[in-house]
Structure 1
Amino acid sequence: MASDDMSRDPQEEALRRLLEEAFGGALPPEALEGMDLGELARQANLPTDPNQLRAAAAQMQHLFAQGGDGPVNWKLAGDLARQTAMGVQRLPGQEAPAGSPGDPTPSPEQVRALREASQIASLWLGAVMDFDVPAQELDVWGRATWVHRTLPRWQSTVEPVAKYMAGAIGDAITAQMQGSGMALPGDPAQMMERMGGTLFGIQFGQAIGSLAREVAGGSDLSLPLGPEGRPALVAANVEDFIAAQSLDPAAARIFLASRELAHTALFTAAPWLGRTLFAAIEDYARGITLDLDALDEMVRGLDLSDPESLQAHRPEDLFVFTRRAAQERALEELATTLALVEAWVDHVTTRALTGKLPQVEAMREVLRRRRASGSPAEGMLARTVGIELRPRRVREALAWWESVLATEGEAGREAHWAHPDLLPGVDVLAGTPQAPRPAEAATADLADAALPEDFDAELEKLLSGEDGDAPQQDEPGDERP
């Protein structure tokens, strides 16, 4: 056996190893024996250089060693997300990671400064909102910790679309290989679905890891991603925010801490809200479809033997989505709820901080611009899972909350979070924002309405037809349309 191994062509042996690793054990033993592996490599656009094949095989071995039991490679996604968050991993064709280098552990000074900022923000918020300020002490995380704490929520949320996409990508690759006349050993569907799950895991992990380098806390996306009831800030990203905008450090920490506390207070006081948001995302994802023509075109254009070609085709280019009208409406409703969350947080934190902190308006403007344009990581996530987690009509939602406060006060404003039916819909925010009028105002209007002095006499005149407007009774045989 050893002599047989020694006599094998190095290129053929490297290709054999690449295929075995790529299919992750789905190939039956000896399935490749007797096949023309050189022709197989040419048909699949695989490298022909033995050194390139060995490198590709080693990379495949690392990727598939992380595989799980399901169709989506979540272990790979998590591993890649943590490496991306730390700035040590970047896919071909991707831009350099945002933010300061690496993933420094929060220093004792950073932890102390952020927790002191949280204590101040807590006192000021408590004076302007009717919800309880979170009692939990602020957590201070590194970037990889953000990934670790939020990944379970991400995984459960995008599981439906991930499973669908793994199968769709696998089907496209299978069709392309079969169209070339290539005979696939073993179970082609299983092998290609595994390949599709790996491609999705790679792109998803890159997106989440990139987000970890941008977000300030656990709820920047107006979603409760972290542990329930626990506010958290990412120390390195807070410092990047301060440095990039030349802000007063103490003021910026209080500003970001107040937003994190307000988000946490809202999601704690209205537990239905987080469940509704995630359920909407999951329902939307279940109905998503890929543009299979675009996917097939992408697969056909891949050339694994050309590094420049590979870099020109980013993994997210595989994911081109089509939406039905029902999904567009669902997305609009999701974006509206996110806008109401974002606007409420902006509303209460602005009231809490104005007159106490410098640069409040400047910091609000930074967030408005970021929200309007979207970050590169948010764009990558949207391309990967087909869902734009971007609030719409935030300005209109902010005006609505301000009008609610003017007519109903803080308790009345917070009461609208008791049930989704008490919140305005897309149609309300699309017009001139008007807050619901309190019951006392409606009662007062009725009390002020002037009734005739002789109400019975006026009613009798109406019924008798003395004013010419008496109701007419149908004659027998008359037909009404």
Structure 2
Amino acid sequence: MSDQDTPRNNEGNQPEDELRRMLEQLLGGGMINPDQLAGVAGLPADPQALSQMLGQLQRAMMNPTEGVNWQVVRDAARQSITDNREVEKDTAKEYEQSFSLAQLWLSEVTSVGSTGLLDAPRSITRYEWLNLTLDTWSEIAGPVAESISRALVEMLNEQAPEEYRAMIDQSKPMVKSMGQAMFGMQLGQVLGQLAKEVLSGGDIGMPVLPNGQAALLPQNLAAWSDGLEIKPSELLLYFAVRELAHAHLFIHARWLRLHLVNSITEFARGIRIDTERIEDTVRGLDVSNPEELKQVLQSGQLIPPRSPEQEVALERLETMLALIDGWVDVVTQDATSRLPNADAIAEMVRRRRATGSPAERAFGSLVGLEIRPRRLREATSMWRLVTEKLGPEARDALWDHRDALPGAEDINDPFALVERLRGDTSDSPTDDLDDELARLLGDPDSFGDAPEGGYSPDR
């Protein structure tokens, strides 16, 4: 359509120009308080952050783009990382030495990792973690951002006065771009919080670092262990072993990372617009109350309920994450048996993982996916039983091919898995395996991750 054919209002302006001016007036003309808008986006209300936020939204209006602007995400994340400390040379050297010893211990208990990492394990800053993981987050969150931005366009169409609907329809790319910019700023805030909390590259269970990389964050590890009556060198060795085990697994099973990321992306792309749900959500919403709007955006209410297909995909994904973390738990326990407080550290790791961090919960509300496995304890027991009955070589060989990997039914019935792997189809009694399973599931002390005072599964 040429400029001559483009619909114009009574003043001769194109509808998109009029809508742009309306939105610019809202953003910069005093109709919306920038402090309140920053609160909705989850950003700190400081002048520099506000200026950048308004500039990003105005650029999104002036130059609409497809998809999330990941520079916006990066900028928002860096703004929320208020304290980023460089790794000192002495600290980097200490971590390098710990990784070397951890590699030696790990090689004694598993053949996974014998091929070596693509890059040497290292210590990184919070900023470095953000930069290294951003590509992975774009794979995971990109489809969700697209779904939510479409939902916002639909909501705006429904809620706008009749005289503006034609303009909104003409300006969908601009409105979608603004919605994605706001989502990007919120996601950046969440990633900034994660950067302040994660201890290692494999800390949240997913392979967020590029393939073949292992890393620890000294600043976060020091903050997490502050006040613990355990030597820092012992904590460092434990987490170095754990991080190497996680990284080496993805090197050994080269199919695993792509399979996992594709599963997460497939789940995210299953999100569909539920106009009825959006209408129900916004019907009683006071759009002049930024705090109420922020709560709606961060609660995940705009993300529709999971479809049956998504529920099945989520169950498969949680099973895979549990298998990964359970295997890492078992080999870490075996490799760190020399450490006096290995069991106590393992218990602290379990509690930390079970409760989840505020950033993890916020990410779940934005993306609609809980990234922590729910079946970790049962998967750990399964790997321990396989190790004790068949040996570490048979255990590790299960990662060679996707079809060989145990499934949810094997986690539920690990003694049947052992029988199948033994190739024993006779009617011989399995009382010894039943007793072993009862020991593992009923007495967590038996697999070495309970504190001295005993362990309660409710803690």
**Normalising by structure 2, what TM-score?**
0.77
- What is the CA-CA distance between 1:148 and the residue it aligns to? 0.3
User: Is 2:408 the partner of 1:406?
Assistant: no
Number of aligned positions between the proteins: 398
Corresponding position: 1:114 with 2:95: yes
Identity %: 32
- How far did 1:423 drift? 1.9
2:75 to 72, 76, 79: 79
CA distance in 2, matches of 1:108, 1:180: 63
Matched, 1:428 2:410: yes
The 2-side partners of 1:379 and 1:204 are apart by: 12
Could you tell me how far 1:422 is from its partner in structure 2? 1.5
- For residues 97-135 of structure 1, the C-alpha deviation after alignment (integer angstroms, 9 at most, x for no partner) is xxxxx1111112221222121111111111000122535
- 2:65 touches 2:177 (CA, 8 Å); kept in 1? no
Aligned match for 1:216, one of 196, 199, 209: 199
Distance in 2 (alpha carbons) for counterparts of 1:328 and 1:50: 43
Aligned pairs for 1:345-424 (under 5 A) are 345-354=328-337, 356-424=338-406
CA distance in 2, matches of 1:360, 1:71: 45
Indicate if the aligned counterparts of 1:382 and 1:389 stay in contact, CA closer than 8 A. Answer: yes
CA distance in 2, matches of 1:121, 1:76: 38
Going from structure 1 to structure 2, the CA distance change for 1:193 and 1:31 (only over 3 Å counts) comes to closer
| 1:308-367 deviation digits (Å, cap 9, x = unpaired) | 55565554555333111121111011000100000000000100112x112211111112
Q: 1:425 to 1:48 in 2, by over 3 A?
A: same
Return 314-323 or 192-201, whichever deviates more.
314-323
Structure 2 CA distance for partners of 1:138 and 1:318, relative to 1, 3 Å: same
TM-superposed CA distance for 1:157, in Å, is: 2.6
Structure 1 stretches of 5 or more lacking a match? 1-25, 88-101, 448-481
Partners of 1:310 and 1:55 in 2: CA distance: 10
Q: In structure 2, do the counterparts of structure 1 residues 51 and 395 end up closer, same or farther at CA, with 3 Å as the change threshold?
A: closer
Q: Which has the larger radius of gyration?
A: 1
Residue of structure 2 in register with 1:139 after alignment: 122
Shift of 1:63: 3.9
1:413–1:179 distance in 2 versus 1, CA, 3 Å: farther
Spell out the pairing of 1:399-478 with structure 2 (5 A cutoff): 399-431=381-413, 433-437=415-419, 442=424
- Seen in structure 2, the aligned counterparts of structure 1 residues 359 and 51 have a Cα distance that, compared at 3 Å, is same
Structure-1 residue corresponding to 2:308: 325
Q: Is the 8 A contact 1:208 1:377 kept in 2?
A: yes
Q: Do the aligned partners of 1:81 and 1:205 also contact (CA within 8 Å) in 2? A: yes
Q: CA deviation at 1:388?
A: 1.0
- Counterpart of 1:280? 263
Give the 3-state SS of the residue equivalent to 2:216 in structure 1: strand
Indicate if the aligned counterparts of 1:382 and 1:388 stay in contact, CA closer than 8 A: yes
Amino acid at match of 1:111: A
Contact kept? 1:319, 1:383, Cα under 8 Å: no
**RMSD of aligned alpha carbons:** 3.3
Supply the AA of the counterpart residue of 2:233. A
User: Which residue of structure 2 aligns with residue 259 of structure 1?
Assistant: 242
> Which TM-score applies when normalising by structure 1?
0.74
SS at match of 2:105: helix
Separation (CA, whole Å) in 2 of partners of 1:183 and 1:289: 24
The structural deviation recorded for 1:246 is: 4.1
Distance across 1 between alignment mates of 2:158 and 2:369: 27
